Amino acid sequence: MSHPPMPDADELACLDELIADLPPQADQLLPFLHRVQERLGHVSPAAMRFAAHAFNLSRADVYGVVTFYGDFREAPVGDTVVQLCMAEACQAVGARALAAHAEQRLGVPLGSSTADGTHHLEAVYCLGNCALGPSIRVKDAVHGRVSPSRFDTLLELRAIDRSRS
């Protein structure tokens, strides 16, 4: 790790706001990182530095936590995150074929973002919808029985949502 930059003024204001009601205890690191990830889309080196200072941890501690957990990203990804469940129950009803379709449709392998930055495709291991697989999650919505054609429909619907907002 080289020296991470200090947060700029805007980021600092945002981080200050996100941490405001959290007690300065080490066990609040994960709740804080969740907020950062949710608001900013990723946990920047500057945010890690901020967290280390706030919770009295070493930067290595924070970096270790950020990289350990699947939810936290060190760099921004595509706007709409599409998670495909690739666990056994979904495998049993075509998750692998769905993943192949999704990769082809978005033109990127699982774990990466499209070149235009609109989508990020990734695998997850179980969304708790195992009797209705294959399951995917887009934002906080889980969709069941996702066939390749339903996948396309869902993508189009999200595209419409985006163009509206």
Partner 1 sequence: MSTRVFIPNDTAARSMGADDVAHAIAVYGERMGLDLTIVRNGSRGAAWLEPLVEVETTAGRVGFGNVMPNEVDTLFVHGQVNLAHDRCLGTVESHPWFAAQQRITFRRAGVIDPLSLADYEQHGGLAGVRRALTLSAAEIVADITTSGLRGRGGAAFPAGIKWNTVRQATDTTKYIVCNADEGDSGTFADRLLIEADPYQLLEGMIIAGLAVGAERGYVYLRSEYPWAITVLREAVARAYAAGLLGTHVLGIGPRFDVEVRVGAGAYICGEETALLESLEGKRGVVRAKPPLPAMRGLFGRPTVINNVLTLAAATDVLAAGGARYAALGLDRSTGTMPFQLAGNIRCGGLVELPFGRSLRSVLDEFGGGSLSGRPLRAIQVGGPLGAYLPEHLWETPLAYESFSAVGAMLGHGGIVCFDDTVDMAEQAEFAMAFCAHESCGKCTPCRIGSTRGVEVIQRLRRREESRRQWQLLEELCETMEFGSLCALGGLTPLPVRSVMTHFAGDLLTPVGGTGQ
Contacts to partner 1 by CB under 8 A? 25-31, 33-34, 55, 61, 64-65, 68-72, 87-93, 124-133, 135, 137, 140-145
Q: How far is the CB of 10 from partner 1 (least distance, A)?
A: 25
Residues 27-86 that bind ligand FES (CB under 6 A): 85
Task: At 138, list the tokens.
Answer: 């887009």
**Cα–Cα distances in angstroms (integers) from residue 82 to residues 3, 54, 132, 155, in the given order:** 33, 32, 17, 9
Candidates 46-54, 96-104, 127-135, 146-154; binding stretch for ligand FES (CB under 6 A): 127-135
Measured from the CB atom, the residue of 66 and 84 that comes closer to ligand FES is 84
Q: How far is the CB of 134 from ligand FES (least distance, A)?
A: 7
The answer to whether residues 159 and 122 touch, using CB atoms and an 8 Å cutoff, is no
Give the number of other CB atoms < 10 A from CB of residue 143.
17
Distance in angstroms (rounded) separating the CA atoms of residues 63 and 39: 19
Contact between 99 and ligand FES per CB under 6 A: no
- 142 with 131: CB under 8 angstroms? no
Can you tell me which of 40, 54, 89, 154 binds ligand FES, judged by CB under 6 A? Answer: 89
Identify the residue among 77, 129, 151, 158 touching ligand FES (CB under 6 A): 129
> Which CB, 21 or 140, lies closer to ligand FES?
140
Nearest residue to 145 (alpha-carbon basis) of 79, 92, 77, 100 = 92
